[in-house]
Structure 1
Amino acid sequence: MKNQVQLITYVDRLGGGGLNQLQSLLATELKDVFGGVHLLPFFFPIDGADAGFDPIDHTQVDPRLGDWGDIAKLTQDVDVMADVIVNHMSSDSPQFKDYSAKGSASIYDGLFLTMDRVFPGGVDEQTLLKVYRPRPGVPFTYATLANGDKRILWTTFTSKQVDIDVAHPQGQAYLTSILKTLSESGIRMVRLDAVGYAIKKAGDNCFMMPETFEFIDQFAAEARSLGIEVLVEIHSYYRKQIDIAARVDWVYDFALPPLVLHAFSFKTAEPLKRWVGIRPNNALTVLDTHDGIGVIDIGADATDREGRPGLVPPAELDQLVEIMHANSQGQSRQATGAAASNLDLYQVNCTFYDALGRNDLAYLLSRAVQFFLPGVPQVYYVGLLAGHNDMDLLARSGVGRDINRHHYSRAEVQSELQRPVVRELVRLIKLRNTAPAFHGSFKLNDSAAGVLDMAWQHGEHGARLVVDFATLAYQLEVSSGDRVDAFAFAL
């Protein structure tokens, strides 16, 4: 993977078109801005129950966007990452329809996970309560199949997303077919979506267990044999993230977004500096994604009865959530928790720009912090354009995360790129992509409680960022030998 800033985007929500239009955008208005692009699910269909994360056919490009030839064409211009949704597939898929019609006589009978497969002797309340849940309710759907048979299906997320048995030969063949299809189209990196829930085991919490790591190891080995790197997407306790990072190619730094918001909100860099000192370096740094802003990632361990402390105290974490709601004028409250469907219990749904109260300088300094940390930065398409909460889309869909999934027309993209905050972000991205210092060694310098001081050195090339979270004073410079060039935001 290139050590350059990557874009995260839906194909149809940035520029209002398909793959060819996105490729055109990357070659014109966004020329030389990104070293790679993570295409959020482009499989058929892109508009299911979970915005593409419930594919009917994971090996088919939604024809409204293009085809595999268009994907291959895009990979000639930019590195492309795609999702592999390992945990589930749509109840509208041909495989599930065959299973529904034929029941145990279907060749796909072993593909879909039922409650009795995990709990053949039944399950008591205490055992069921051990199962870690990202959303309210139990992870099951009572279903009557088309042939009249009754099943209790394992559905971690929604009733339309039926979990697959990744240990069954049918499940293994299904995932292998996806990897081969992606590899043949030139994709060299995949993100394992919801992989933390892929393995189920009676009597355990069914989340990131040793057996889950074994599955990830096996899947990653198969991917590498096809020339594909693997990114694991896990929202969890921060120490668990460190453990996970030691086992995989790449992880997200999901602790970073709430810690940056905490630094500005409480005018201290101490929790952020503690994290910088221990965080894994094989990380993709993000401030925003297609999901919400994680809270669990810096909180106490929700799976531990001992209540291992998080990176910030519980009271401050609760206050941080309230600050985000206040900064967004209450809009995020309408999209978070029980206020909207398809929710995640551990996330605040809001654009990062609105979570900062639309403060241009604080937003750009947040991006500077992101870009200076070891790892590869990714910028979500709404974040690229310093986007506002889309309350109209939220009202139409009732899905909380849609507040941060705006549909930008090409004209809208062109207009937003002229805003000073966006123009300066693009300039900062180009600095991160081209400064030789970022290929060298990183150092966290000693500093006052409210100040973060980070530096890079590669031979004679250097880069340094100093941010005072209380005053928003900053120093950003790159150097080569005796020459030092200051970088100042023009707002």
Structure 2
Amino acid sequence: MTHANPSNQIQLITYIDRLSGGTIKDLQQLLQQELNGLFDGVHLLPFYPPIDGEDAGFDPTDHTAVDSRLGNWHDIGALAGQQTVMADMIVNHMSAQSAQFQDVLTQGEASPYWPLFLTRDKVFGTEPSTEHIQAIYRPRPTSCFTDLPLADGRIIPFWTTFTANQIDIDVHSEPGQAYLDAILARFTEHGVKYIRLDAAGYAIKKAGTSCFMLPETFEFITGLSEKAKALGMQSLVEIHGYHQTQIDIAKRCDLVYDFALPPLVLHTLFKRDAKALKHWLDIAPRNCITVLDTHDGIGIVDAADHQGQPGLLTDPELDALVEQIHRNSDGSSKLATGSAANNVDLYQVNCSFYDALAQHDEHYLVARAIQLFCPGICQIYYGGLLAAENDVDLLQRTQVGRDINRPYFTPGKVRQAMQKPVVKALCKLIKLRRSLHAFDGEFSQTLTDSGYQLNWQHQNHTASLRIELSDLTATLIWQHSGQPQQQLALSSLLAG
């Protein structure tokens, strides 16, 4: 069944080729067969050329094209006819290998695309102050500028927030606006209903500021969201940052990520203490997408303090959390995190969620149950759905930290993973959750010395998840209107 209330959907988030082993049509077949009955929608991670670029599709050479190895726009439209589709809109940058940027390198200011790209001098002038440069908020340890040579021999410092192959766009320029409009038009033509505004927090740069989440950034996000809404699409804003920032953003857009949830769920299970999680769910935006894992790492900054303002967890609690993840993964997460790996920011831990919980099936199922009982659209990452372990071999081949949690599955490997008791149990839990009408209603929660309970009620339908904190045993309790109450020990789903 599909919920009458769209805010309580369950979506899959996946790369097309890394889950299906092939094309858009292969993924559609997988959703109709092995994954049938699990999801209301699917977030397709970047399918633009090249899907095997430096940043797994987040460095598109042509954002209005589908990588031919995956299929074409007709295939996207066909999938959108069966599933609600979300696509990424990469608003901050495009590939240095794109035809537009290559033309800029060749023609310099004579190129029609010169205004499309940001240089350091466009923001700071030819002699930027050290103070202004140091004020920039950095997601990575590298410089945010890359010196690149034009054909005439001049060296230009282009703005590259993420990598040297991702050239930042001037979104206020005429070609910048035309570029974004062309992406929106292509999405609309092929049935995309949700767009994820990737790296939107970095889109506006202004001298003398952090160049991150400025008042002008909020205005840009609001304007782009309104433009998308006029075309029949909802926008999800993707920003890692202080939790109060997420609350503020949520008031100005359709959807935000609940990136604070993953560290808070881990903290709850590691410390057998749900106070921080309950506090967050008391104040968290309701127009959110919940995640435990994504194609990026487990965010730490999202639960941390900021400029003297308290975080959802204290620094010692976060330090203990990170160290516990490293221990649980037998140190493999350490190989992929922070300065130990390329193309990684310093504010996340790269690790599969299954490994973060030491591959403990019952604890993993409790974590997923918490996510499924939280308000919002629930997104389950393909690696999380299949309880994937850290892919150290892939990490060692690519030296990209986040690849440890971006495994490749062939159809045979998918079928194999679907037979694991924890995956079977998770699929049963998802199907049960989708059958309960209580989730179309109101959320509440209670915390006592011994237990934590998440509740839903819609008319005479009820559903609860009760967790005994001392030993992390969990019970599902639900009642359809006019029918007897039912109870199920969560661990019994693992029994077959």
Q: Which amino acid aligns with 2:205?
A: K
Structure 2 equivalent of residue 456 of structure 1? 456
Structure 2 equivalent of residue 82 of structure 1? 87
1:129 to 129, 134, 151: 134
Contact 1:268 1:451 in 2 (8 A): no
Give the Å deviation of 1:3: 2.6
1:102 to 97, 107, 121: 107
1:189 to 175, 189, 194: 194
Residues 1:436 and 2:441 are matched in the alignment: no
Residues 1:9 and 2:7 are matched in the alignment: no
Instruction: Measure the CA separation in 2 of the matches of 1:132 and 1:398.
Output: 25
Structure 2 equivalent of residue 149 of structure 1? 154
Give the Å deviation of 1:482: 4.9
Contact 1:4 1:432 in 2 (8 A): no
Contact 1:44 1:56 in 2 (8 A): yes
Contact 1:264 1:470 in 2 (8 A): no
Give the Å deviation of 1:121: 5.2
Give the Å deviation of 1:469: 3.2
Q: C-alpha offsets along residues 318-350 of structure 1, whole Å, 9 cap, x if unaligned?
A: 111000000000000001011110011100000
Give the Å deviation of 1:457: 0.6
Instruction: Measure the CA separation in 2 of the matches of 1:455 and 1:81.
Output: 28
Instruction: Measure the CA separation in 2 of the matches of 1:433 and 1:146.
Output: 58
471-480 or 329-338: bigger deviation: 471-480
Q: Which amino acid aligns with 1:344?
A: D
1:172 to 174, 177, 186: 177
5+ residue gaps, structure 2: 1-5
Structure 2 equivalent of residue 242 of structure 1? 247
Residues 44-123 of structure 1: pairs in structure 2 closer than 5 A: 44-120=49-125, 122-123=127-128
Q: C-alpha offsets along residues 107-129 of structure 1, whole Å, 9 cap, x if unaligned?
A: 00100000010012521111111
Give me the TM-score of the superposition, normalised by structure 2: 0.97
Contact 2:272 2:472 in 1 (8 A): no
Instruction: Measure the CA separation in 2 of the matches of 1:470 and 1:327.
Output: 20
Q: C-alpha offsets along residues 247-286 of structure 1, whole Å, 9 cap, x if unaligned?
A: 1100000000000100111111111111111111101010
SS in structure 2 opposite 1:8? Answer: strand
Structure 1 equivalent of residue 466 of structure 2? 466
5+ residue gaps, structure 1: none
Q: C-alpha offsets along residues 350-402 of structure 1, whole Å, 9 cap, x if unaligned?
A: 00000001110111111111011110100000000011000110010011000
SS in structure 2 opposite 1:13? Answer: helix
SS in structure 1 opposite 2:65? Answer: strand
1:490 to 459, 476, 493: 493
The ranges of structure 1 where at least 4 consecutive aligned residues each deviate by more than 3 angstroms after the TM superposition are: none
Q: Which amino acid aligns with 1:352?
A: F
Structure 1 equivalent of residue 332 of structure 2? 331
Instruction: Measure the CA separation in 2 of the matches of 1:139 and 1:461.
Output: 52
Q: Which amino acid aligns with 1:145?
A: L
Residues 1:225 and 2:225 are matched in the alignment: no
Give the Å deviation of 1:468: 2.3
Instruction: Measure the CA separation in 2 of the matches of 1:238 and 1:35.
Output: 28
Contact 1:59 1:181 in 2 (8 A): yes
Instruction: Measure the CA separation in 2 of the matches of 1:108 and 1:147.
Output: 17
Instruction: Measure the CA separation in 1 of the matches of 2:471 and 2:140.
Output: 38
Q: Which amino acid aligns with 2:252?
A: R
Contact 1:5 1:432 in 2 (8 A): no
Give the Å deviation of 1:477: 1.4
SS in structure 1 opposite 2:432? Answer: helix
134-143 or 381-390: bigger deviation: 134-143
Structure 1 equivalent of residue 166 of structure 2? 161
Q: C-alpha offsets along residues 143-191 of structure 1, whole Å, 9 cap, x if unaligned?
A: 1023423211000000000000000011000000000001101001100
247-256 or 138-147: bigger deviation: 138-147
Contact 2:8 2:375 in 1 (8 A): no
Q: Which amino acid aligns with 1:353?
A: Y
Contact 2:10 2:378 in 1 (8 A): yes
Instruction: Measure the CA separation in 1 of the matches of 2:143 and 2:382.
Output: 33
Q: C-alpha offsets along residues 443-467 of structure 1, whole Å, 9 cap, x if unaligned?
A: 112422x532111111111001111
Give the Å deviation of 1:311: 1.0
Q: Which amino acid aligns with 2:290?
A: T
Q: C-alpha offsets along residues 263-321 of structure 1, whole Å, 9 cap, x if unaligned?
A: 111111111111111111101010000000000011111xx2xx211111111111110
Q: C-alpha offsets along residues 4-45 of structure 1, whole Å, 9 cap, x if unaligned?
A: 210000000112010000000000011111100000000011
Residues 1:362 and 2:363 are matched in the alignment: yes
465-474 or 329-338: bigger deviation: 465-474
Pairs aligned (count): 486
Aligned residues with identical type, % of pairs: 53
Contact 1:75 1:187 in 2 (8 A): yes
Q: Which amino acid aligns with 2:476?
A: L
Q: Which amino acid aligns with 1:41?
A: P
Contact 2:275 2:447 in 1 (8 A): no
Give the Å deviation of 1:412: 0.6
